[in-house]
Amino acid sequence: MYDLVIQGGTVVSPHSARIFDVAIKGEEIAALGVGLQGREYVDASGKLVFPGVIDPHVHFSLPVGGTVSSDDFYSGSLAAACGGVTAVIDFTVGAPERTMAEDLRNRLEDASPSVVDYSFHGEVVGWRPGRTAEIADAMAKGIKSFKFFTAYGASGRRTDTGSLYHAFRAIAEGDGVAVVHAEDDSMIEASAALLSKEEWGRMGTLAEVRSDLCEASAVNSVGWIAARTGVRCHIVHLSSALGLGEVETARKRGAVMTAETCPQYLLLTSSVYEGPQGHLYSAAPALRTPEDNEALWRGLSTGAVDFAATDHCPFTRTQKEWKGAFDRLPGGLPGVETLLPLLYSEGVLKGRLSLCSLVRATSEQAAKLYGLYPKKGCLLPGSDGDLVVFDPGEAWTIRAGALRMNVDFSPYEGMEVRGKVCQTISRGEVIYADGRFLGRRGRGKFLPR
């Protein structure tokens, strides 16, 4: 007899959707079948059963511009669980005077209250050729993906092309992944130098300074280096049709390049900057056009865009108070709790994604890229018992006050959504059910990769 049986739901995989029972013993999936017997049951009749969502791009407790993102690892992971997310990948906080192994030690302490499983990308800041041993050391400690910036030179976070080349070679030798925030810093700085005082004081200028051209230029340069080093290279938060075009060009050149996009780049446009709350939408890359939205939806459907993540980096209204210029705001938007319902409601129900594509985009592909598959990202015997029971018919309205994220603002405030998480199961334990969080602080495990 099994410990827990999720009974009678439509189990969705990247290849099919069929009515099955899913049986869990201990922390793992033990069997899929019909009429399975368990000590406890979850009735999933009329519901969809997905693999637990993986959000491979979150920023909990992140220091930014004199403040800290408003979700810590407890509140952020709790919100994640309520949205069907059973694993997150955050980032170490890099500094030139520290090694990535030291950064990891600090972040493991920060993450100890997490209620879902977690891992980290190593943030590369101030790295120079000759420090290759730091990458191998971080890999030995379970970090196999490394985050680079081609922007933010003024804050010291940008990595120049020479260092990128040598770092990519070192990461390729260890079969790691180079994760890149791709915006061309020189284009941003040149555009900013031409701004008038009036333009600095207008939120919409953000989209002009951090344009789709600067994203495409950076992807082009990174793709060239990736093709010549053989590194597996991943572009985060892809925001534009031009950027996607350069990802596809890099692949044709021989680069092993993947890309993610985020709900904000699928659903929002730069028009929000012109409203009275436009400053609350500060983030980089900037929001784009409806044409960019549709190009990214198509890419997600065809696989040209590999998966969706949130870049969850929340701030309160007070933290984002307007200070007279668009560059004085902390950048980031909340989203870890709303990823799955938004992609289902706006993607599957509107014919932009199939159910099977939804699973690939929210679970399988990220697990494969980041070395978590098949323990995570699928519903197979031997996989972790991470599942989401999802009601495809429940209609609800997104309200910041009703969400668990530690914010008083949602980019999707007032949006009517159809489809909602009923239960979230993490390693065989029901941690969220029918509007109530049932897990416990600190139950999440670090996932070395």
Q: State pLDDT tens for residues 85-140.
A: 999 999 999 999 999 999 999 999 999 999 999 999 999 999 999 999 999 999 99
CA nearest 341: which of 283, 410, 392, 292? 392
Confidence band for 388, pLDDT divided at 50, 70 and 90: very high
**Statement: residue 141 has pLDDT above 90:** yes
- 52-369 has which fold? TIM Barrel (3.20.20)
Q: Do domains 2-50+387-395+418-437 and 52-369 have the same CATH topology?
A: no
Q: What is the pLDDT of residue 241?
A: 98
What are the pLDDT digits (tens) for 313-325?
Answer: 999 999 999 999 9
Domain 2-50+387-395+418-437, architecture per CATH: Roll (2.30)
According to DSSP, the residues that pair with 332 across neighbouring strands are none
Q: What is the pLDDT of residue 304?
A: 98
The bridge status of strand 387-397 relative to strand 48-51 is antiparallel
Q: Where are the domains of the chain?
A: 2-50+387-395+418-437, 52-369
What are the pLDDT digits (tens) for 280-311?
Answer: 999 999 999 999 999 999 999 999 999 999 99
Stretch 69-80: mean pLDDT: 98
What are the pLDDT digits (tens) for 3-52?
Answer: 999 999 999 999 999 999 999 999 999 999 999 999 999 999 999 999 99
Q: What is the pLDDT of residue 107?
A: 97
Stretch 63-68: mean pLDDT: 92
Does pTM surpass 0.85? yes
Percent of the chain with pLDDT over 70: 100
Whole-angstrom CA distances from 60 to 26, 68, 334, 335, 352 are 29, 9, 10, 12, 30
Q: What is the pLDDT of residue 65?
A: 82
Amino acid at 62: L
Q: What is the pLDDT of residue 296?
A: 98
Q: Tell me the pLDDT of the chain averaged across its residues.
A: 97
Tokens 């200070």 belong to 323
Taken in order 377, 381, 386, 389, is the CA torsion positive or negative?
A: positive
Q: What is the pLDDT of residue 134?
A: 94
103's enclosing H/E stretch is helix 100-111
Confidence band for 385, pLDDT divided at 50, 70 and 90: very high
Q: How many CA atoms lie within 13 A of 216 on its CB side?
A: 13
